[in-house]
């Protein structure tokens, strides 16, 4: 089983749509969870951390279900500028480096 | 600007060349990382340094040799690479490895092509 798995995508949606990305992780002891955004040919940038209680930042909502070893990212009212690859990132074990999922590509069209 | 600077941005080298990638962070972090990103593959962690000590080496071939002279600088020395080593090499830093909610800050990467 891969350590961090994401929806393969790509997701092609019109402006204004709501889109959800899913991520599962293999290690139940994982402690830290994040979503990063990566634009084409650019470096990944932190989008948001994910907490057990869930968190929201404007149009973006991240959820975590530790029992199911699952995280999700929801983008509401999609904008053209949201087009990018969204990476699920997990700390698999205390004291070790973060592991990245393969990413899900989103394309928002007008 | 993320505070992590990588040079060069692009590099083309032959299989017999020796070259080095450089990374510098101005964030006061104690951990630095090398990641490799190939087309259609997830970011692969290569090396981790925490307080200048190498803490992870993910079975990287010896033709890649990291060096971390201090907490602000990280190098990746390359020699006798193969065409399949062509990829985007990303340097990152964080406060320290494995801290709860540690956040990674990436450099812009070096796009490497091996001919």
- For residues A47 and A86, the answer to whether their CB atoms sit within 8 Å is yes
Does B2 sit within 8 Å of A96, measured CB to CB? Answer: no
Does A94 sit within 8 Å of B104, measured CB to CB? Answer: no
Could you report the per-residue pLDDT of A30-83, keeping only the tens digit for each?
878 999 999 988 999 999 999 888 899 999 999 999 999 999 999 999 999 999
> Which of B34 and A40 is assigned the larger pLDDT?
B34
Residue B42 has pLDDT above 60, yes or no: yes
What is the average per-residue pLDDT within B84-112? Answer: 90
Does B98 sit within 8 Å of A43, measured CB to CB? Answer: no
Helices (H), A1-110: none
pLDDT of residue A1: 57
Task: Evaluate the CA torsion angle A44, A49, A50, A55 in order and state its sign.
Answer: negative
Question: What's the whole-number average pLDDT of chain B?
Answer: 92
Task: Find the closest chain A residue to B87 by CA distance.
Answer: A41
Contacts 24+ apart (CB under 8 A), B43-48: B43/A44, B43/A87, B43/A100, B43/B90, B45/A97, B45/A98, B45/A99, B46/B76, B47/B76, B48/A97, B48/B97
Residues of A in Cβ contact (< 8 Å) with B41: 102
- For residues B26 and B111, the answer to whether their CB atoms sit within 8 Å is no
- The nearest CA of chain A is from the CA of B79 a distance in Å of 25
Using 50, 70 and 90 to split pLDDT, how confident is the model at A27? confident
Residue B112 touches chain A, beta carbons under 8 Å: no
Using 50, 70 and 90 to split pLDDT, how confident is the model at A94? low
pLDDT of residue B34: 96
Residues of A in Cβ contact (< 8 Å) with B56: 96-97
Residues of A in Cβ contact (< 8 Å) with B93: none
- For residues A71 and A60, the answer to whether their CB atoms sit within 8 Å is no
Residue A2 has pLDDT above 90, yes or no: no
Number of other CB atoms surrounding residue B44 within 10 Å: 16
Residues of A in Cβ contact (< 8 Å) with B102: 32, 91, 98
Could you report the per-residue pLDDT of B46-88, keeping only the tens digit for each?
999 999 899 888 889 999 999 999 999 999 999 999 999 999 9
Number of other CB atoms surrounding residue B90 within 10 Å: 26
Closest listed residue to residue A7, CA positions, set A105, A107, A104, A108: A104
pLDDT of residue A104: 94
């Amino acid at each position: 089983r891969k350590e961090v798995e994401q929806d393969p995508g790509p997701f092609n949606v019109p402006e204004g749509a709501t889109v959800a990305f899913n991520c599962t992780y293999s290690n139940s002891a994982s402690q830290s969870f994040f979503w990063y955004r990566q634009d084409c040919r650019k470096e990944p940038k932190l989008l948001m951390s994910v907490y057990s209680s869930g968190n929201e930042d404007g149009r973006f909502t991240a959820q975590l279900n530790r029992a199911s070893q699952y995280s999700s990212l929801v983008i509401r009212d999609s904008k053209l500028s949201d087009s990018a690859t969204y990476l699920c990132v997990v700390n698999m074990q205390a004291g070790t480096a973060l592991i990245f999922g393969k990413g899900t590509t989103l394309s928002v069209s007008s | 600007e993320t505070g992590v600077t990588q040079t060069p941005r692009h590099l083309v080298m032959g299989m017999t060349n020796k070259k080095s990638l450089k990374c510098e962070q101005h964030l006061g972090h104690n951990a630095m990382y090398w990641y490799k990103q190939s087309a259609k593959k997830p970011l692969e962690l290569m090396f981790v340094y925490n307080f200048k000590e190498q803490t992870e080496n993910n079975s990287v071939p010896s033709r890649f040799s990291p060096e971390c002279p201090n907490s602000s600088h990280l190098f990746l020395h390359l020699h006798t690479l193969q065409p399949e080593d062509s990829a985007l090499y990303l340097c990152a830093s964080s406060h320290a490895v494995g801290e709860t909610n540690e956040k990674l800050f990436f450099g812009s990467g070096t796009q490497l092509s091996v001919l």
